[in-house]
Structure 1
């Protein structure tokens, strides 16, 4: 029964996220919000909404191992597996601004996570914990990121011209609102099923919350990013693939982790320190790969994907 709950929850999460993105994008278009802002905020928020729902739901239930594991695991999967696989399908072009600003911002956010969870080694405390104060600090950085996005939007307004004009197939505002609200409800319900199902599976198989969060849940909640990125690559719109992943990783750390820790302070197992370092390393690798001719090529995609398989093998043995 637990496996059925997990499967139903993941399907509901993925489909609901799709409806949410459709509705939210439609509302943004009708309100003449700049396309750049739509991509950097709504798409990133939409594809990260399953992670948000699962992590916040797990935090409310006190299952903190799943909360942190989902955030770190999803960020690792996004770069190593999703960008790797997408680059194998079609080499990914990376915008200059993404290399100069957004990837470094992701790297700083990843380093901040390591600093916040390394209380034993850095502060000689008895346990590692992401406190409510830590969560509030992360949320302040999230507000800074939002300010940066709105600055981009304001600076791009003069370039809007007819880009955001309504088309014959534009949906009415009421239907877009219905899609957005209905999608969010589905995401919340799906998240509840995923947490229940995965927790039961962990108990049955003797798996730790950490392993379940880093693998099963992280992969399941990252499916919207995977689908979006592969679709973008097939359509030769690789900038969307990279932007979606970078934006989602920033959102996962600065919003999801901050809100979850404000709800319930997160006790962190020592093994998470290694996973946080892996997250930082993958972000650095993405930065260096992007610097080479502003693209991630097929060979680099194979390296990312193969290394991720090795990482998963290690954490399974570690459990």
Structure 2
């Protein structure tokens, strides 16, 4: 059994109190589900002066999917709650999010883990960031200077590194529903069940006569330093197989493939290629 160092524990009741705490004490840890934070405490990989539990702050909760306005998912929404809410809607956006949420760990992990933790940790193997990226989701972030908005596409800087400052909190993610006729894909490759993914991919768009229209794709997994959205705007009008070849090339170029416990660099590159081709094929874009 591992035990953490001593620390103070606080459970603020509102957003203002939470922001004040994390601004005053620089060496802090914010938790809601605690699926990663508690483990890091037990291993003494983190030794904060104070643990700030934001799970019961009303401003961080709530989920609203579909409708004519922007969909919104509060940071403290449990992943299992997102899975159920998204599964109750037949829209492409909700179907994509339901699949990504369902891919997170097991039932116990999804029941404890939160959307905010999955999004803000910056772990490239987390399932929700690629799905939210292709929905052009925006992170709504609160800090000493007020509330700001940042696209998820520019949120991730590297392994476990994001643009959310140490004195800021993720409030929610927002996005607009994809067109009703959009096709979607979410998939990942793991070595064993419940392992971190070697690679994951989310894709969304329309295909007309075998040619992609407004197709978006984002990638994650241990093959990448951080979740990555591919820039495909300049490929509008490009038809298969040239389109498929170029998307695969860009995905492999974005891959920071190095050999480690998850496989050799060549293996990871091959997994990325296979996953991208599978995503495009599912949407109706075939290589040949």
TM-score with structure 1 setting the length? 0.26
Structure richer in helix, relative to its length: 1
Q: Taking structure 2 as the reference length, what is the TM-score of the superposition?
A: 0.28
Q: Which has the higher contact order (CA 8 A, sep 6+)?
A: 1
Whose strand proportion is higher, 1 or 2?
2
